[in-house]
Amino acid sequence: MTHKFSPERMARLESPERHRNFPPEQLLRRFGVGLREGEVLLDVGCGPGFFALPAARLIGPSGRVIGIDTAPEMVEAANGRAREAGVANLEVLRSEENTFPVADSAVDLLWIAFLAHELLEPVAFFRECRRVLRPGGRLAVIDWRKDPEAAEMGPALDERVGEEDVAEALVSAGLALSERGRWNRFTFYITAVRPAPDPGEA
């Protein structure tokens, strides 16, 4: 059962407990932000910017972070927080469920945190991710484990998505899996890349 996070609850996304369990800088560094100057990171389903703001700081002034979210309240909140914090290299835009306002092959790293369980059409969504990633570009998904031992934190188990289903949707969308694991007891991560085209492929 897919359940969208209500913008009315957005304060929960910045709780001290969340910062303790999912320190954003640590997660972002773990999956490669800041390794290359001038990178473009796209945070899909960025909410009020829990990852997008630290990502913009980590990526530095030569890099750029684009946040997108289907909820206009989240877009407004994230842009407001970026303005207040004086973060100039973050822009947050409204997107549609499976359509991003981003050019083909424009993104080096795609960040999908705590969104996979809300997707209505995972394969169509990940195809759109593939379109905006440059060949060789990377994608990281982190989400709640659908396992009774992980139930004590996060959404109800029947609102979560199985890790295997996410992996299958990524592969069906033409992405190549690279790494899988657990961030902590409650969450799994999967990283993938957009394969470089074969010679001669358009």
Kindly list the residues in this chain that would bind ligand SAM in the complex (CB under 6 A): 4-5, 13, 44-47, 50-51, 68-71, 74, 95, 97, 113-115, 118-119, 125
Rounded CA gap, 156 and 147, in Å?
A: 10
| Residue (9 or 201) nearer to ligand SAM, CB | 9
| Residue (68 or 90) nearer to ligand SAM, CB | 68
| Residue (69 or 108) nearer to ligand SAM, CB | 69
State the minimum distance, in angstroms, from the CB of residue 174 to ligand SAM.
18
Residue 88 CB-half CA count within 13 A: 3
| Residue (97 or 104) nearer to ligand SAM, CB | 97
Neighbours of 88 (CB within 10 A): 11
Chain centre to alpha carbon of residue 28 = 10
| Residue (71 or 140) nearer to ligand SAM, CB | 71
Cα–Cα distance list, 152 to 48, 126, 146, 148 (Å): 24, 29, 11, 8
State the minimum distance, in angstroms, from the CB of residue 14 to ligand SAM.
8
The tokens of 179 are what?
């790494």
Rounded CA gap, 195 and 134, in Å?
A: 9
State the minimum distance, in angstroms, from the CB of residue 144 to ligand SAM.
9
State the minimum distance, in angstroms, from the CB of residue 199 to ligand SAM.
34
State the minimum distance, in angstroms, from the CB of residue 145 to ligand SAM.
15
For residue 31, what are the contacts with CB-CB under 8 A and spacing of at least 6? 109, 111, 138, 140, 189, 191
